[in-house]
Structure 1
Amino acid sequence: MNPTPEFLDRALDVARDAAGAATQVIRRYYRDGFDVEIKADETPVTIADREAEAAIKHVLRAAFPDHAFYGEEEGREGDSDWLWLIDPIDGTKSFVRRYPFFSTQIALMHRDELVLGVSSASEYGEIAWARRGGGAWLNGQRLQVSGASDFTAQTAISFGNVKTLSRDARWTALARMVQRCGRTRGYGDFLHYHLLARGCIDLVVESDVNILDIAPLVVILREAGAAFTDLDGNAPGLGTTSVLAGPPALHAKALAEFCAA
Structure 2
Amino acid sequence: MQQFLDAALDAATAAAQVIRDGYAGSFRVRTKADASPVTEVDEAAEKTIKAVLAARFPDHGFYGEEFGLDRPDAEYVWLVDPIDGTKAFVRGYPMFSAQIALMHRGELIVGVSCAPCFGDGETFYASRGGGAWRVAGIDARARPAVPVRVGRAESFPEAALSMGNIATLAGEPRFARFAANVIPRLQRIRGYGDFLHYHLLAGGKIDAVVESDINILDIAALAVIVREAGGLFTALDGGELTLDVRGVLAAATPELYRALARELR
- Residues 166-205 of structure 1: per-residue CA shift (max 9 Å, x gap): 0011212321211101111100000000000011101100
Amino acid at match of 1:163: A
Residue pairs, 1:168-207, within 5 angstroms: 168-175=172-179, 176-207=181-212
Matching residue within 135, 152, 156 for 1:151: 156
Amino acid at match of 2:104: H
> What SS does the aligned partner of 2:88 have?
helix
Separation of aligned partners in 2, 1:193 and 1:201 = 9
Separation of aligned partners in 1, 2:106 and 2:83 = 23
Amino acid at match of 1:238: L
Residue 237 of structure 1 and its aligned partner are, at CA, apart by: 1.1
> What SS does the aligned partner of 2:249 have?
strand
Residue pairs, 1:1-261, within 5 angstroms: 8-78=1-71, 79-124=73-118, 125-139=121-135, 140-152=145-157, 154-175=158-179, 176-247=181-252, 248-259=254-265
Paired-residue identity, %: 55
Separation of aligned partners in 1, 2:76 and 2:28 = 34
Residue 18 of structure 1 and its aligned partner are, at CA, apart by: 0.2
Aligned residues: 251
Q: CA RMSD in A?
A: 0.8
- Residues 34-60 of structure 1: per-residue CA shift (max 9 Å, x gap): 111011100000000000000000000
Separation of aligned partners in 1, 2:212 and 2:47 = 29
- TM-score by structure 2 length? 0.93
> What SS does the aligned partner of 1:133 have?
coil
Residue 69 of structure 1 and its aligned partner are, at CA, apart by: 0.3
Separation of aligned partners in 1, 2:197 and 2:153 = 16
> What SS does the aligned partner of 1:32 have?
coil
Separation of aligned partners in 2, 1:173 and 1:120 = 36
Amino acid at match of 2:167: K
- Residues 88-132 of structure 1: per-residue CA shift (max 9 Å, x gap): 000000000000000000000000000010000011121000000
- Residues 111-169 of structure 1: per-residue CA shift (max 9 Å, x gap): 000001000001112100000000001111111111111100x3211011000110011
Separation of aligned partners in 1, 2:109 and 2:174 = 31
Separation of aligned partners in 2, 1:170 and 1:225 = 27
The structure 1 segments of at least 4 consecutive aligned residues displaced by more than 3 Å after TM superposition are none
Separation of aligned partners in 1, 2:178 and 2:208 = 12
- TM-score by structure 1 length? 0.95
Amino acid at match of 1:162: I
